[in-house]
Chain A
Amino acid sequence: MKPLVAGTALTLLTAAWSPAMAQSADDPLVQARRAARDHSFTGQVEVLWRDAAGDHVATVDVRSANGSLVVSGTNTVMDARDRARFLRRREGGWDLLWSATSSSAANPPSSSKYRTVETGAATVAARPARVLEVREGTVLRQRLALDTLTNLVLRREHLGARGEVQRVVSFTALKIPDEPSVPAPPTASEDRAGRAITAVAPPFSAPPTLREGYERVGLYEEGGIVQALYNDGLYDLSVFQQRGRLNRGDVPASGQPVSLGGRRAWAYNWPGGHVLLWHAAGTVYAMVSDAPMEHLLLAADSLPAAGRSLSLGERLRRICRSLVTL
């Protein structure tokens, strides 16, 4: 079986044989991931997302050749084939977000948590596609349209707990050119690349697993901020940690207050998913994921600093203690 990760990463991972590497090659999600790497294409992608303010739509141009992917919207993102990730903001110049030294373990198999079933056919961007539904238990999480010819993901719909569409990333035009032009990787004007690390020192923590079946697949550090990257077979979830405190007046204003085991946290939407922000014991946590919000809330419960809901016994002990010290 051909490994799915680049050679650089693989050499770092020879000891960490992951079940993902042995997962079935005909898993449609694996096929889709490989197709995005193997096929050259140009096209337009529409992003639709929904938040408290209503529906939003944005269109971006995409171009891919020999594994290098360029997304041109407000920001230009370049995913060069050696897994260096560049970002150009409107002001110009490139940031190197992730360098080739970044490594990550393979994702856990999606089949341990999700069931993928082909349910029909569709036409997306004038191309025939097969429709797959990805379910977690009985809950429909995603509906995918895979290009019949190439297995490229032509449309990905994220659904909420009540089956409502929350986010759609969909090709509106797609061309597979005969002679792909390979995008030239830019030169980073500002190197802020995160570097892969193997462990974190207290008070940070990066448990190997989080609730809801998230396994740690990467650990990075950049400018005092630690990022632990998790995957559950379908979604990615990052936990960022930095020292400091969160002044409630300074959290970005569009947040919705949520309760995290009795601790105040703020939830945000972005076009690709959710953000959960909180602080505890001198550390500020930011969880970013394309997963449903309930996954974030539950996964946060695995982090030692997130206040756990107390057991009945602990509650009683506390009440007794408070009576004694009255």
Chain B
Amino acid sequence: MTGSGVPTWEEVARNHGRFLYSVAYRLTGNDDDAQDLVQEVLLRVRRGLGTYQPGNLEGWLSRIATNAFLDEVRRRRRRVVEVLPDEPERVIPPAPGADVTAEAEALPEDVHRALQRLTPDYRAAVVLCDVVGLSYEEISATLKIPIGTVRSRIHRGRALLREALT
């Protein structure tokens, strides 16, 4: 830990890289974007962005990750002129003869996929609450939205996800 209380790149990469990658993967939905996002978080940590209060380091990293993720979403939204059709993603069907029981066990994958169908704002709220475990107040501070909005996004996100997996 440096004098400023902000953890070093090395500390974050060594001790929290896996956690950060996990959160990034749930937010972005894929490996490539998750790796990018982790790098971006480290760069922001390096620049001392955000105000780290000694205590919940992983919560703090998650907040940086979520904001970096939403920044990127907004940046891309500006750049893509043509709005993509609002169709469910095509997902490759299982190979013939795939073990049927594997489907039931593959639930986390389905949950992950359903999570990606939520809009980035809803997904961010749900990930911060259920994957990272932040309180509504912390989420409210992270996303800069009122607590009531946090609650409604989390609730609606969960309901949509449940419905997608019916």
Contacts and interface: CB of A to CB of B under 8 A. Distances in A.
B113 A259 contact: yes
A298 interface: yes
B30 to A, nearest CB: 5
Interface string A241-278: 00000001100011111111111100100000000000
A293 B82 contact: no
Interface SS majority for chain A? mixed
Query: Dominant SS at the B interface?
Result: loop
Contact of A312 (B81, B89, B99, B113): B99
A309 B79 CA distance: 31
A311 B94 CA distance: 10
Contact of A249 (B79, B82, B90, B92): B79
A312 B101 contact: yes
A295 B95 CA distance: 12
Interface in A278-324: 293-294, 297-298, 300-301, 309, 311-312, 315, 322
Interface in B1-59: 18, 29-33
A175 to B, nearest CB: 41
Interface residues of A, number: 29
Interface of B: 18, 29-33, 76, 79-82, 84-85, 87, 89-95, 99, 101-102, 105-106, 113
17 contacts: A248-B33, A248-B76, A249-B76, A256-B84, A256-B87, A257-B89, A259-B30, A261-B92, A264-B29, A264-B30, A294-B90, A297-B93, A300-B92, A309-B95, A312-B99, A315-B106, A322-B18
Q: Which 5 A-B pairs have the closest CB atoms?
A: A312-B102, A52-B85, A264-B30, A258-B90, A297-B92
Interface of A: 52, 211, 248-249, 253-264, 267, 293-294, 297-298, 300-301, 309, 311-312, 315, 322, 325
